[in-house]
Structure formats: structure tokens, C-alpha cells
């Protein structure tokens, strides 16, 4: 997410930007798979890291 956010405000090749979106989507899908497989500990760590990142961006 951090890399994508930085690229949002820079001038890059559209295909590179779309590739990063695809990577982010795949990471999110992996996290969703973990949730569906009852891996709550990893979910809590992911949520904490995401919350800290969002607070840092704002």
C-alpha cells in the first residue's frame, strides 16, 4: 500500500501503476483467504499495521 500511495502523486508509466494495483489486489486477496481459513492472529497484525499506516498518511 505504501508504494502505491507514493506513486499516486508521481508521474509514472500507466502500466507500472496498474501493475502495482494488481499486486495490491493480490495481497488483499491473500489476506481474505487467511481470514476465511480462520487465521485471526495474522488478521489482527495486518489490521494493526494498516491502521498505523493510515494514521501516518493522514
Q: 3-state SS string over the chain? A: CHHHHHHHCCCCCHHHHHHHHHHHHHHHHHHHHHHHCCCHHHHHHHHHHHHHHHHHHC
Q: Which residues of the chain have pLDDT under 70?
A: 1-12, 58
Note whether 2 and 53 are within 8 A (CB): yes
What does the alpha-carbon distance between residue 57 and residue 5 come to, in Å, rounded to a whole number? 9
User: How far apart (Å, rounded) are the C-alpha atoms in residues 38 and 43?
Assistant: 9
What's the pTM?
A: 0.48
- The predicted structure's pLDDT at residue 24: 87
Write out pLDDT tens, residues 11-25. Answer: 667 788 788 889 889
Amino acid at each position: 500500500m505504501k508504494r502505491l500511495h507514493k506513486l499516486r502523486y508521481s508521474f509514472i508509466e500507466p502500466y507500472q501503476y496498474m501493475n502495482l494495483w494488481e499486486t495490491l489486489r493480490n495481497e488483499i486477496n491473500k489476506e481474505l483467504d487467511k481470514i476465511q481459513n480462520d487465521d485471526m492472529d495474522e488478521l489482527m497484525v495486518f489490521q494493526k499495521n494498516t491502521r498505523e499506516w493510515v494514521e501516518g498518511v493522514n
